[in-house]
Amino acid sequence: MDKMIKLIKNADLYTPEHIGLRDILIAGDKIARIAEDIEGFEGLSDVDVFDAMGMAVAPGLIDIHVHVTGGGGEQGPASRTPEIQLSELTTNGVTTCVGLLGTDGVTRSLPNLLAKVKALNEEGMTCYMLTGSYQYPSQTITGSVISDIALIDEIIGVKVAVSDHRASNLSREELIRLASDARMGGLISGKAGILCMHMGSGEKMLDDVFYALENTEIPIKTFLPTHMGRNIPLVSSGMKLVEMGGHIDITASDPAISDKPASEMVAYCLKNGASDDSITLSSDGMGSMPRFDDKGVCIGLDYTSPKVLLIELKNCVFKEGIPLERALKFLTVNSARVIGKEGVKGQLVPGADADLIVLDENLDIVHVMARGRHAVHRGEALIKGRFEK
């Protein structure tokens, strides 16, 4: 069993701000103290001491877009992707995620999603979820979006699809109503109350969001458009949202599937004046990735993995020249802010949850701690889901 008190020595600490060598004292699942040299605990039988040996120690990654019960289904039942396992998240540095439904809101249900989210929490990480799916009116568990967010602890917002041929083509007024419900549910429960919008490649892009912002009092941070790196026109419309004080989420890319790294879109945003506080990266984990020929016929189907977050972190640092402390923000503190967990998740500060990763010079995972427990060491999962081999 993990000991309740843990001391990490000689950590090159990224909070995600880079503050240099520090020791980290962990009590239970919380960070208790950070200092240059914490003494008096080594050698005690009930204290677990881990020497980071000067390696980078950063907050555990937050993946705000994961199809934890599987996604896909657009090519029939056999194209449904599998559920995710705990170790596929933790071995890739993810200690917190947000589960959601995708295209298929018929054979994939919200009660099943809630059960999976609860299971991941029981197994050792932190997982939240969104109600709804691509379709409108939104599927719910309690009968309304407001009640789902207000009454079910794990639910922090709602999802819908816009500007996409698979969407329900909701009107501007329906989008306003859905955002208003997300906002009210968040107010009642003290949660983020976000409206996560799957963004397709349609010509309207964010037009309806701008209409809502111009004609209502809904706060801009209620709206979270995702998959914003599809193309330059879409990300450019996102830049307008950022300039107004909003956030955009860019989907990380797998080089085995996509030839255009999401890190290039991140760099494009930064070079064109976007604040590095306004961007998040997520994996779309277990989401289907169909491949089409030049006639538009599907010739293959893959699905993505949370591993793309580490791939894009490396791309940001080694290819785009973004400093590590800046690149980490897209996967930690910014994501925590979006889901209403700033100060609890995504930062290594006293009082925050003890979620952290240890990275070598190549930014490969050496060690992962989730909620104060040793979860991964040198690629080996130390805690697994109940039915993992």
Residue 291 is predicted with a pLDDT of 66
Residues 260, 251, 66, 110, CA torsion sign: negative
Residue 299 is predicted with a pLDDT of 72
Phi, psi values for residue 32, rounded to 5°:
-95, -35
Residue 297 makes CB contacts below 8 A (sequence gap 6+) with none
Which one, of 65, 3, 1, 109, lies nearest residue 354 by Cα? Answer: 3
User: pTM above the 0.85 mark?
Assistant: yes
Query: Cβ(220)–Cβ(213) under 8 Å?
Result: yes
- Provide the pLDDT for residue 289: 76
CB-CB neighbours of 220 under 10 Å: 14
Domains of the chain: 5-58+348-381 (2.30.40.10), 59-338 (3.20.20.140)
Q: Residue 257 has what pLDDT? A: 62
Note every long-range contact of 43-49, with CB atoms under 8 Å and residues 24 or more positions apart, other chains counting.
44/5, 46/3, 46/4, 46/5, 47/3, 47/5, 47/6, 47/7, 48/2, 48/3, 48/5, 48/6, 48/7, 48/374, 49/6, 49/7, 49/9
Per-residue pLDDT of the chain (389 residues; tens, 9 = 90+): 678 999 999 999 999 999 999 999 999 999 999 999 999 988 888 999 999 999 999 999 999 999 999 988 777 888 888 999 999 999 999 999 999 999 888 999 999 999 999 999 999 999 999 999 999 999 999 999 999 999 999 999 999 999 988 889 999 999 999 999 999 999 999 999 999 999 998 999 999 999 999 999 999 999 999 999 999 999 999 999 999 999 999 999 877 666 689 999 999 999 999 999 999 999 999 987 766 677 767 677 778 999 999 999 999 999 999 999 999 999 999 999 999 999 999 999 999 999 999 999 999 999 999 999 999 999 899 999 999 98
For 242-295, write each residue's pLDDT tens digit.
999 999 999 998 776 666 899 999 999 999 999 999 999 999 999 877 666 777
Residue 150: per-residue pLDDT: 98
pLDDT for the residue 256? 63
List the one residue out of 180, 101, 98 whose CA is nearest residue 134. Answer: 101
Catalytic residues: 284
- Chain-centroid distance, C-alpha 31: 21
Query: Do 257 and 289 touch, CB atoms closer than 8 A?
Result: yes
The candidate with the shortest Cα–Cα distance to 234, out of 249, 244, 219, is 249
d(CA 225, CA 197): 5
Q: pLDDT for 198-220, tens place per residue?
A: 999 899 999 999 999 999 999 99
